[in-house]
Chain A
């Protein structure tokens, strides 16, 4: 079974986001980059499927800058077998990313294509179903349980107040959600091994984007909030103000 896992290099979730003076992006100085947290569930799932079956190949694929080699090495250290870096600065436009990944995947032989459900920088949540649509493949998103059998998969996906089951003929696209598994930490042996695993770099030219980032801004600063009081005796005053002033009761 061949599994391809797409990973993205993103700022750590603890990053204090500062928009640059020209409003065209975020200030990346001092930002720590990590593997997108949702992609770790995808990498873990791929490795578990390979381990359970005792055969198969796990390939990590990334569209990102040269530095994204670091995140691909992380995936290799967790246990992926090889990696491909499509070298380009990833645009915010989801369709452009999906088209580029689909162009690479078209000529590749795989049974399962895994993604994290969304990247925590752009929060687009678009690329997995877009790639599936472009390649003409079935797709399940936000998956918390996945059973892969010969030629098919059954995925359980999270929806509001419940779940729905999705049946997929392989090859298929699945995006992973927290709860699917517990991603392993790469141990020293894995980190050493990752240095020797094959990693191919290709420069790519991105197509013109379908959406245009006009500007960015930070959220409006704080509120004129106040402490109503201390302890249980402040509760009646809080309730009164929620009712009469904020009008939310």
Chain B
């Protein structure tokens, strides 16, 4: 009992980036346990081929179910697919991405299988042959190490923590029959609010604005910086500006918004309330720009500039453009 099952999340027939992260986490665990990585997807006709590419990230057996009804999220069919595989195989663990869909699906599967679930894990180890995970609580103000009383151990992994690693799996592709009916929860396809807009929780660079931005009309300043940083960059916001209606809640970083962990986090005009710090402190590199030298954001920042953001940000944007333009 050392095999690990990973959920390959699709949007439409496209694999989402978090699917590779999930398989990477599963590969790491399976290597320590001496087992194989299995992958499962439920998607529209033709989606199985793309899922099969996860062999390049270490997938040994790839189970794909295709049906015209599976173009949108189909929790009932997914729960059936996981139950079928868990009945057939004895898994040590089942991994999900801690994405919007993963966090909706994993508890359903856990309840169906009657097994424990650890949400949004940031680390994964094996102790005495059993998975042990680290997960944040209190919006990252504390971390818990959690073990499981029975297998399979279910867990969802925080985006941007398990960076995809290429690793050749044997990639045996098997088709899975999953019934589309009955449907209890009927979900329509995702309507994207802005084409290709990246979610702040999944971005590898985040530029966040706070009250220091002084109003909703000044955001082009930050959009320029996002643009200069290139693909994979998203806008974030502090609670104060979301509550003021300057920015949508989907962009809010912090305890009552999203917890993010990007490679680069740039906090602009954000003083750094404890709830905000909790939501971004695990970012790899933190930059703070604020006119108040006493602002708590500087306590967690790797680099800071004290000054008027309306002067500093355009200059920084320009410098970053130069560096990146030079092939940096």
Give A residues with C-beta under 8 Å from B: 11, 13-17, 19, 26, 37-38, 92-95, 98, 120-134, 136-142, 144, 157-169, 177-179, 208-219, 222-236, 238-243, 246, 248-249
Contact = CB atoms under 8 A, between A and B. Distances in A.
Interface in B96-138: 99-101, 103-108, 110-112, 114-120, 132, 136-138
Interface string B132-146: 100011111111111
Interface in B289-313: 293, 298-308, 311-312
B142 A239 contact: no
Given A164-B189, A210-B116, A222-B300, A216 B137 contact: yes
Contacts of B199: 160-161
* Interface size bracket, B side: 35 or more
A212 B287 CA distance: 37
A219 B107 contact: no
A123 B116 contact: no
Contacts, number: 290
A125 B144 contact: no
Nearest to A223: B302
Contact of A129 (B73, B111, B322): B111
B170 interface: no
Contact of B141 (A17, A127, A178, A236): A17
The 5 closest A-B pairs by CB, nearest first: A210-B116, A160-B199, A239-B319, A211-B116, A133-B111
B137 A210 contact: no
A95 B140 contact: no
B305 A227 contact: yes
**A163, A209, A242 pick with most chain B CB within 10 angstroms:** A242
Contacts of A157: 100, 104
Contacts of B316: 235, 238-239
B188 interface: yes
Nearest to A23: B145
Which secondary structure characterizes the binding site on chain B? mixed
Given A126-B110, A166-B187, A231 B303 contact: no
A142 B104 contact: yes
A248 B263 contact: yes
Interface of B: 72-73, 75, 79, 99-101, 103-108, 110-112, 114-120, 132, 136-150, 184-194, 196-199, 201-202, 205, 229, 249-250, 252, 255-257, 263-264, 274-275, 281-282, 284-287, 293, 298-308, 311-312, 314-316, 318-320, 322-324, 328
A242 B316 CA distance: 11
A118 to B, nearest CB: 8
A126 B117 contact: yes
B104 A95 contact: no
A126 B119 contact: yes
A246 B303 contact: yes
A139 B305 CA distance: 47
B256 A13 contact: yes
Nearest to B303: A228
A236 B139 CA distance: 34
A140 B185 contact: yes
B185 A159 contact: no
Contact of A169 (B100, B184, B202): B184
Contacts of A178: 249, 252, 256-257
Contact of B256 (A120, A128, A141): A120
Nearest to B153: A211
Nearest to A162: B192
Given A125-B107, A129-B108, A142-B100, A160 B201 contact: yes
Contacts of B99: 159-160
Given A211-B148, A232-B312, A234-B312, A165 B187 contact: yes
Contact of A212 (B146, B184, B300): B146
Given A211-B117, A216-B137, A241 B100 contact: no
Given A164-B189, A211-B148, A139 B117 contact: no
A216 B138 CA distance: 11
B197 A238 contact: no
A93 B322 CA distance: 50
Contacts of A212: 146-149
A126 B250 contact: no
Contact of A238 (B191, B284, B303): B303
